């Protein structure tokens, strides 16, 4: 499996605006925000795409959602609402092959997305 820029963010080789960290997960601000709140939640364990997730990863995915929910509350966007997105491969617009959950909020988001 090829390293991605997120491995360097996890190791702190590249600095990021860290919002949450524990031994298994990291959340940091997206460098190219698409909304007033745009945070990426990642597992420290590298899984390239959602296609690579299996039953043994169910807890990881669930915990990523719980971290996103907690951050949304801390950022006070929970009442107005927000969006959680996993992009997968080319058509999904995935550019970093280490799964990440986008937390987007702080403005009205359009649907359907472009």
Q: What are 41's two structure tokens? A: 């939640």
β-sheet with 37-43: strand ranges across: 18-21, 25-29, 37-43, 101-105, 82-85
Q: Is 100 part of the annotated catalytic residue set?
A: yes
Query: Long-range CB contacts (< 8 A, 24+ apart) of 30-34?
Result: 30/102, 34/104
Which of 1, 31, 58, 66 forms a contact with ligand AMP (CB under 6 A)? 31
Q: Show contacts with ligand AMP in window 36-65 (CB under 6 A).
A: 40
Which of 5, 53, 61, 109 forms a contact with ligand AMP (CB under 6 A)? 5
Residues in contact with ligand AMP by the rule CB under 6 A: 5, 14, 16, 28, 30-32, 40, 87, 93-96
Query: Which residues are part of the catalytic machinery?
Result: 100
């Amino acid at each position: 499996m090829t390293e991605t820029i997120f491995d360097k963010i996890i190791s702190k080789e590249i600095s990021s605006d860290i919002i949450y960290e524990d031994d298994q997960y990291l959340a940091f601000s997206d460098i190219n925000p698409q909304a007033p709140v745009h945070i990426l939640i990642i597992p420290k364990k590298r899984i390239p795409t959602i296609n690579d997730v299996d039953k043994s990863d169910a807890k990881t995915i669930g915990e990523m959602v719980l971290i996103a929910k907690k951050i949304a509350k801390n950022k006070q966007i929970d009442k107005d609402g927000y969006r959680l997105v996993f992009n997968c491969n080319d058509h999904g617009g995935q550019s970093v092959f280490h799964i990440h959950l986008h937390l987007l909020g702080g403005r009205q988001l359009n649907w359907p997305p472009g």
